[in-house]
Structure 1
Amino acid sequence: MPDRPEIVCICGSARFVDEMSAANRDLTFAGVIVVAPGVFPRAEDHEPDELITNEQKTALAALHLRKIDLADRVLVVNPGGYIGESTSREIAYAHAIGKPISFTDPL
């Protein structure tokens, strides 16, 4: 048995919050430490005065890259093969630092 559980970072579009939550649950029940987005900035979920600012979005994106740094591997939640711009950047980052990457759906 390893000294610690595997750490997996979940990446994916905010439109797939339910699917990411399910993946988080499944991995957690399998004994995996999961790091995932903590905030899902979708305009339709907020009142106009509660929207996430561009500065906050930038900070969240940078924070998520640090989560990838902590992980042993990355799981991309991509129903129907969809990968958006932010997720593409996260995949490129994970690839550049040598993290194994897997996908929930074929590309």
Structure 2
Amino acid sequence: MPDRPEIVCICGSARFADELRAANRDLTLAGVIVVAPGVFRPAEDHDANEVITDEQKTALGALHLRKIDLADRVLVVNPGGYIGESTSREIAYARATGKPISFTDPV
């Protein structure tokens, strides 16, 4: 038995919030430590006090790269093979740091 559970960083578009939550749940129930993006609703779905600014988006993107640093591997949640700009950047970062990467759907 390893000294600690495996750590997996989930990456994927916030448009797939349900799929991200399902992957988090499944991995957690399998005994994995999960680090995942903060998933926020689009601005049109909530009031002005909850809007994420461009500056906050940038900071959250940088924070997610640090989550990749903590992980043993990366799981990309990509229903239908979709990979957006932010997720592409995260994949490139994970590859550059030598993290193993798997995908929920073929790319």
TM-score by length of structure 2 reads 0.95
Deviation at 1:98, TM superposition (A): 0.3
Alignment of structure 1 residues 33-44 onto 2, 5 Å: 33-44=33-44
CA RMSD of aligned residues (A): 1.1
Letter in 1 for 2:87: T
Letter in 1 for 2:26: D
Q: What are the ranges of 5 or more consecutive residues in structure 1 without an aligned counterpart?
A: none
In the alignment, what sits opposite 2:91? 91
Deviation at 1:27, TM superposition (A): 0.2
Q: What are the ranges of 5 or more consecutive residues in structure 2 without an aligned counterpart?
A: none
Q: How many residues align?
A: 107
Distance 1:49 1:2 in 2: 44
Deviation at 1:49, TM superposition (A): 4.7
Change in CA separation of 1:57 and 1:104 when aligned onto 2, cut-off 3 Å:
same
Helix, strand or coil at the partner of 2:83 = coil
TM-score by length of structure 1 reads 0.95
